[in-house]
Amino acid sequence: MNTTIKWAAELPHVREISLLGTADLGFWKDRLREEDLLPAESDGEAQLMIVAADSKYMGVRFRELSFSVLVCQVENGRRQDAAYLVRAFNSCRFFAFCERVFFSTPYCHGDVRVSASLPASIHLVKKGEVVFRAEMHTDASGLGRQPTRCGEEGWEGPVFLPESRRGKGLFFARIRGHTQAYPFLPGKDSVTIRPSPDSEILQALLDSHFVAKEWVVREDATHAKSKTYKRAEVLAGVGHG
């Protein structure tokens, strides 16, 4: 991908929680086949990435929540980080509208609630009902949970989009910041999913037997995204100035 990336938005001081997990590989192979993509595999499972963020753009504070499947992408013989964005929600109706219309991204409005302070939590509320909830629980002793790793980390790569009337597109995303990672503790931490007719991603999580594995917390991150490119042009190595 010999694409010169121009960041359409670069947001500092983002409070972010990512929840990483696994799901049924066969389910996501079937789901992504029509998009000409192959899910990345680890120990026979697909890899999912759920990212919740609290940030500000042009003076407007908003929260968003995205659900992505990591996909295989090889460049110059080396595996490159890449993802397929299944669905995303934004707490600002106008921003969700702009995402759909100007970037062809699968955004819709949703009441997203994010707490990047321990214990971390993510909530998505639709029509007054919590339809997705992920919560980290502290020990009854009151002692804080210790991270398994800590330091500067991030994620950067192409994000493939569902096919739309404009064809198949992608954008580039970059996340950077001081990172604290914690294991997801079954029996203590929890994920609750209540599918709704306009949130098919939640049913897909249930059908593919999503299992949370790790929390990634960044209390002061920088998020950046590019404009949306046509996938065929980028994969062909056409440069964009």
Per-residue pLDDT of the chain (241 residues; tens, 9 = 90+): 545 788 889 999 999 999 999 999 999 999 999 999 999 999 999 999 999 999 999 999 999 999 999 998 766 556 678 999 999 999 999 999 999 999 999 999 999 999 998 899 999 999 889 999 999 987 655 456 789 999 999 999 999 999 887 788 999 999 999 999 999 999 899 999 998 777 799 999 999 999 999 999 999 999 999 999 998 878 766 444 3
Question: What pTM did the predictor assign?
Answer: 0.91
- pLDDT on residue 196: 76
List the structure tokens of 45.
Answer: 């499972």
Which H or E run includes 84?
Answer: strand 83-90
Cβ proximity of 14 and 224 under 8 Å: no
pLDDT at position 165? 75
**Strand-pair partners of 61:** 56
Q: How many residues does the chain have?
A: 241
What would the two tokens of residue 155 be? 């994620």
Six-digit token string for 168: 């198949």
Alpha carbon distance 229, 48 (integer Å): 23
Residue 110, both tokens:
């949703």
Residue 136's SS3 state is: coil
Query: Residue 31: enclosing H or E segment and its boundaries?
Result: helix 25-33
- Half-sphere exposure of residue 169: CA atoms within 13 angstroms, side-chain side: 16
Residue 138: the pLDDT is: 73
Phi and psi for 31 in degrees, rounded to 5? Answer: -65, -35
The span from the CA of 214 to the CA of 82, in Å, is 19
From 53, 46, 49, 64, select the one nearest 19 (Cα to Cα).
Answer: 49
Structural domains in the chain, sorted by start: 7-235 (2.40.400.10)
